[in-house]
Structure 1
Amino acid sequence: MTPLPSSIAQYSNQTLREVVRTSIGSDRVRVRIANTFGSATLHIGSVHIALAGSGSSIVPGTDQSLTFGGSESINIPAGAVALSDAADFRQHGLTDVAVSIYLPGTVAGETTTFFQGTTFRASGNQVAAVNLPGATALGEWPFLFGVDVSAPDDGATVVAFADSATIVSQWPNALAERLTAKHIRNLGVVSVALAGNRLLHNSAGPSGPDPRWGQSLLTRFDRDVLGQPGVKHVIVWIGLNDIAGPGAFFPASEVVSQADLIAGFRQLIARAHEQGLTIQACTISPMGGNTSLPGFDTPEHEAARVALNHWIRTSGEFDGVVDADLALRDPAAPTRLLSIYDSGDHLHPNLAGGRAIARAIDLRRFESRWSD
C-alpha cells in the first residue's frame, strides 16, 4: 500500500466494494484493513465478503458478514492494521471476491494503492446489497491490505515484491494460474507491487516528495513481505526506476551507482534469509524506444541495466534467477521488448509478457512439496 495526500479522496457515509483475486481455494477467510498512513482513527462500520459478480455486483447467496473481535465495527488507530475474525467462506481459487467496507463517518483516503485495483463507491451502508446502482468506479483499493485464506499445513506464500512492470504484466496472476494447472494448490501468490517503486529511495517526484510512489523496498520489506501470512518465498523485480528515474522523473540527487544497488539487494537477501525465506530476483527487462517516461532510454541507463543484469545472473547470491530480460527481449534487437510482449510504451510488458515471465520461473526453486 502507499500513502496518498489527504486531499486525494474523501469518503463519508459510503460503501467501498473492492474486488480482488484469490490465488488458492479455501473455506475460511479473514481480511486485513489498514490505516497505515492515516492521520486519524479510521472508523469501520461494517465489512462483508462475497463472490464478485459482474461490475459492482456480487453473486447472490454468497455474502458473508465479517467481525472484529466479535463486533461488526472497529476503530483502527492511525498507523495500525485490523485483522478480522476468521469466517466460513468457500471459494475455489483464481476467483474474484468482493470485500465491501462501510465508512459511516468522514475519512480521508490516505492509505490505498496507486494505479491498481478495482473498487466501486456507493452512498450509504450497502455492504450486503447484490447490486450497487449508480456506483462510481475507482482504480485503487482503499484501506484493504489483504484477503487471507485458510491453507493446508504445508501451505506457503510467494510474494511478488516489485514495481509497475509487475502491475501491468500481472505475472503473479499468471504464476498462480500455472501453479493451478500443475495441480499445486498449496502455494499462494501475493503481489505487493507499487507503481514507480524503487529499491533504495522512498517516494519522490520531479518537483519533490510525492508519497504516491510508495516507500522503497528496503523500507517496506518488513510490513509488505514479512507481514504476509505463510510467506516462504520472495521474487524481487526492481531496479529500473532506481537506474533511470533520477533526473528524469525523480530528483537528480537520488542517482545511484551499481555498488549502491548491489548493497541494497544484499540487504534484502540477508533479511529474507534471516527469516528463513528464499529470495529470487528478476533481471531487468529492456526499455529501448520508451516514450512514456522521457529520459529513461539513454545509453548510460542501458549500460547500467546490462551491468546489473550481469550481476543478478552471475553473482550466485540469490536463491534463483528469473531471467525476465531473456524471456521478453527481441532477439533481433535485445535492447527492446519483443513486440508481442510490449504493452505499447516499450517499457512495461503486457499480459502476454506476464505469462512469459511466469513460464520463466523455475518451480523447483520453491520448496518441493509436489511432483513437478
Structure 2
Amino acid sequence: MTGRLARAGRAAVVLLLASACQSASTPAKVFDVPAGTVTWAASADRFGEAAADRGYRLVVHTSVGGRDPRIRLSNAFGDRPVTFGSVYAGLQKEGAELVRGSNRRLTFGRARSVTVPAGETVLSDPLPGRLPAESNLVVSIHTSDAAGPATGHWMAMQTSYATRGDHTVEESAANWTQTSGSWFYLDAVSVRAGAGTGAVVALGDSVTDGWQSTRDRNRRWPDHLARRLQRADTSVKGVANEGIAGNKVLADGAGHSALNRLDRDVLSQPGLRTVFLFEGVNDIKAHTGVTADDLIEGYREIVDRVHAAGKCVAAATVGPFKGWSEWDPDAEAVRRDVNDFIRTSGEFDTVTDFDRILRSPSDPERIHSAFDGGDHLHPNDKGMQAMADAVDLRSLDCADPLP
C-alpha cells in the first residue's frame, strides 16, 4: 500500500488508537469548530504573570474580509479563571487611535462580560457589520482580576497598546500610552465570508512568526501569501499564522510542540482547508539527538491527523542555516535527509521548496545574502516575499486529501 492509500490506512490507525486511548483515560479535548473563515490568528503560549486591572488594545491585520466578525479569547495556559469585563473592537486610525464610530462592544452569549475557565477558550457573539480584508482590526480588552500565568503571543512583530483601568470604550489614544510588542489573550478572529471560502493555516516557527521582517508592516511570509490570495482566482482567502519563535515539531519548549498544539491552534480554526507545515529547523539545530527518521515520523503523524480531519497538508522544505551558531555538518546532514523526504516521499498533498528559493547558488548550505535577515537563518523582507511568491496558490485550494 503506497501513496494516498497508505496515508488513508495510517489515518484510520490514528483514529482507532485515539479511540482506544480515550476509552481508557480522560477523553481528548474536542473543539466545536464554528461556521465562518479565520481571518487572523496567533498561537497561544504561557506568557509571564498576569496583572489585574489592565487594559490591552491589540492591533491585528486581517486577511479575508467578511461580515459579522467574531473573536476568540484564550486562557489556555492559565491556572485559574480570568474575567474580561469589557471587550470592544474597532478599526485603527493611527497608533492607539481608532476610526471614529468604529469601536463597538463585543458580547459573549449576549453578556457584556465573560469568564474564561483555566485551559479554555471562548468565542464572542458575531458583531454585526462588515470587516474589510487587509485591515487593521483593534480589539480592546480589560480584565480586573487577572492573576497567575497569562496566555498570549510574545513575538507579535506588531505594536499594540496597554493601560491601567478600563478605557476600552474610548476611541482616543489619550489613555493608551504604553506600548507592547505582544498580543494578550486574543488568539483568533473569524468572519462570515462568501459561501465556500476557505483558509490556510501556517504551522511553523520563528520564520513563520516573522522574525527579521519589518515590524508593523505585515511582511511575514504568510502576510505576503494572504495578499496574493486576496487577488487570486481561488476560494482559499483566509490565512492564519500559527508560528511560534523557537517552536519544534517534536518537543515542547517555546510553546507546545507542533504535535501537541495541532488541534488547538490549527484544526480548531473555522474554514480550514489546508495546513501549511513549515517547521523542523529547531529540532535539527538543537542537537538533542533528533534524527531525520524521528522528524519524518513527526511529519507523518501531523499528516495523518490532518487528513483524518478531512483537510490537506502542504509542506515546505527546511531552509539553509549555515553561519548560525548551532549549524554543523551533522545538523546539515539531517536537514538534507529531511528535505529529500519532503520533496520525494509523496506524503504531502503539495510541496513548496523553500530551501531551493532561499539558498545561495554558490553555497547551498547557506541562505542567499540578498535574503539573509542578518543571522544566517531568518529571511529579511525580500526573502519573506520570495517564499510567499513560490507557493502555488491553486495547490492550497484542496477539497479532498484522500481518495
- What is the TM-score normalised by the length of structure 2? 0.83
Q: Which has the higher contact order (CA 8 A, sep 6+)?
A: 2
- Aligned partner of 1:189 in structure 2 is 239
1:316 CA displacement? 0.9
- Aligned pair partner of 2:340 in 303, 306, 310: 310
Distance 1:89 1:13 in 2: 30
* Deviations 1:298-322, CA, capped at 9 Å, x for gaps: 1111111111111110111101111
Distance 1:91 1:2 in 2: 23
- Aligned pair partner of 1:71 in 105, 111, 117: 111
* Deviations 1:146-171, CA, capped at 9 Å, x for gaps: 11111112111100000001112511
Residues 35-54 of structure 1 aligned to structure 2 (within 5 Å): 35-54=75-94
- Aligned partner of 1:206 in structure 2 is none
SS at match of 2:128: strand
- Aligned pair partner of 1:143 in 176, 185, 204: 185
* Deviations 1:305-351, CA, capped at 9 Å, x for gaps: 11111111011110111110111111122111112211111100112
**Preserved contact between residue 273 and residue 398 of structure 2 (Cα < 8 Å):** no
Residues 1-372 of structure 1 aligned to structure 2 (within 5 Å): 1-4=43-46, 8-108=48-148, 110-116=150-156, 117-133=158-174, 135-168=177-210, 170-182=220-232, 184=234, 186-203=236-253, 213-246=254-287, 254-290=288-324, 294=325, 296-367=326-397
1:108 CA displacement? 3.9
SS at match of 2:364: strand
Distance 2:148 2:168 in 1: 20
- Report the identity percentage: 37
**Preserved contact between residue 235 and residue 397 of structure 2 (Cα < 8 Å):** no
Over 3 Å counting, the alpha-carbon distance change for 1:185 and 1:263 in structure 2 is: closer
Letter in 2 for 1:298: D
* Deviations 1:14-41, CA, capped at 9 Å, x for gaps: 2100011110111210000010110111
1:49 CA displacement? 0.5
1:199 CA displacement? 0.5
Distance 1:71 1:58 in 2: 24
* Deviations 1:87-133, CA, capped at 9 Å, x for gaps: 11323211111000011224345211122253211121111212233
**Preserved contact between residue 236 and residue 397 of structure 2 (Cα < 8 Å):** no
Letter in 2 for 1:155: T
Superposed CA RMSD: 1.6
SS at match of 2:263: helix
1:82 CA displacement? 0.8
Name which of structure 1's ranges 116-125 and 92-101 shifts more when overlaid on structure 2. Answer: 116-125
1:368 CA displacement? 6.8
Q: Which runs of 4+ in 1 moved over 3 A?
A: 183-186
Over 3 Å counting, the alpha-carbon distance change for 1:160 and 1:186 in structure 2 is: closer
**Preserved contact between residue 64 and residue 89 of structure 1 (Cα < 8 Å):** no
Distance 1:272 1:96 in 2: 30
SS at match of 1:337: coil
1:64 CA displacement? 1.4
Letter in 1 for 2:328: T
- Aligned partner of 2:17 in structure 1 is none
1:201 CA displacement? 0.6
Distance 2:142 2:184 in 1: 12
* Deviations 1:256-301, CA, capped at 9 Å, x for gaps: 11111111111111111111111011101110112xxx3x211111
- What is the TM-score normalised by the length of structure 1? 0.89
SS at match of 1:87: coil
